[in-house]
Homo-oligomer: A and B are copies of this chain.
Amino acid sequence: MSTLKDIAREAGVSIKTASRVINGEAPIRPETRSRVQAVIDRLGYEPSHAARMMRTRRSGVVGFMTDVVASTPYSVDMVRGMQDELRAFGKTMLIANTERDAQREREFLRMFRQHRVEGMVFASMFHRRLHTVPEAGAPLVLLNCYADDWQGASLVPDDHGGGYAAARYLLDQGHRHLGVISLNPVLPATQLRLAALRTALAERGLSLSPDLVQCGFVGPLEAEQLSAFEAAMEMLRRPDRPSAILCGNDQIALQVYCAAQDRGLQVPGDLSVMGFDDLKLISETLRPALTTVALPYAEMGRLAVRALVDPSQAPMSTVPQRVPCLLRVRDSVAPPTRP
């Protein structure tokens, strides 16, 4: 690969002049500029990022670390959102996946530090509280999580708002008797959405039957297994079965569809189903297509980068900032046939 010196020599100018045309600095005489440019094109020259970084002491790189990718590819939307925004600033991204392994986390943090990342984004798979905050010697933005001893930037989905929107939609369609198959109860998302649901219900003088609130998973949080099918089967066998089920995520909703099939119930005719997450792989593929609430992961990625790269413009507060979750109306909810 050729160097700036080569360009300068070939073009018969000084190194600095070559540098100037590359960086579009200062006024350069047009003929000089085009002569230098011609050499650059001919030699296929690209400035060395490493050398540039050494001189300017800015890496132009931000690190992205996730805890688990697991079954839910939640991080790809965040990555895309981040990339969109980074591209606009001419920056690049290093990614790391710790798989919840402390050893790997340390290694990757070292790697980030060696690359002198200008910022770091840490995302957890579930909206949760962190015990320790990863430290890469650069500004940090937390995605989908927060920490008590951490007064920096933190972006979380507005689970309360999303849960409220879902509940209101079902109520507006005429449902009065709702079932819930939730995520693990220890997750803030679960509690926030339940609280929102109870609020929406209370506004109409209704309440939630405790029997109709189930968890869609079994086992410890780190190794939980889907059990929504069984929960749904049980719920649908009851004489007072709900006319609609609110699900903790789209996978649960998928299992509810399967349970409905098994019970000979049509969606949405006999049973309305509401998902959460808007995993297109499921929500757009199911027939009838799934009405769900979209998690704003791409938007969170964009906001995180903006906060990192241009902090003045994004004055992050010390409390987690809630990013809106949008209701995606498709075909899995209809007015109830029995009141």
Contacts and interface: CB of A to CB of B under 8 A. Distances in A.
A87 interface: yes
Contacts of A229: 287
Given A92-B94, A94-B92, A97-B83, A281 B71 contact: yes
A338 interface: no
Contacts of A50: 49-51, 53-54, 59, 115-116
A282 B254 CA distance: 9
Interface stretch (A73-81, A153-161, A198-206, A307-315): A73-81
A259 interface: yes
A332 to B, nearest CB: 11
Contact of A116 (B48, B72, B254, B257): B48
Interface in A220-252: 226, 229, 251
Contact of A251 (B72, B73, B94, B281): B281
Nearest to A64: B95
A279 interface: yes
A106 B132 CA distance: 40
Contacts of A280: 71
A8 interface: no
A110 interface: yes
Interface in A271-326: 279-282, 284-288
Interface string A35-54: 00000000010111111011
Nearest to A267: B261
By size class, the interface of chain A is 35 or more
A92 B111 CA distance: 8
A257 B257 CA distance: 10
Given A1-B116, A53-B50, A287-B259, A69 B80 contact: yes
Given A48-B116, A50-B54, A254-B286, A87 B107 contact: yes
24 contacts: A47-B114, A48-B54, A48-B116, A49-B114, A49-B116, A50-B53, A50-B59, A54-B54, A71-B280, A76-B76, A80-B97, A87-B104, A92-B94, A95-B95, A251-B285, A254-B254, A254-B286, A257-B261, A258-B287, A259-B287, A260-B261, A261-B261, A262-B287, A281-B282
Lowest 10 CB-CB distances: which A-B pairs, in order? A73-B73, A258-B287, A261-B261, A46-B113, A50-B50, A50-B53, A49-B114, A229-B287, A251-B285, A71-B280
Interface of A: 1, 44, 46-51, 53-54, 59, 69, 71-73, 75-76, 79-80, 83, 87, 92-97, 104, 107, 110-111, 113-116, 137, 226, 229, 251, 254-255, 257-262, 264, 279-282, 284-288
Given A1-B113, A259-B287, 6 more contacts: A50-B50, A51-B54, A73-B76, A255-B287, A258-B288, A281-B281
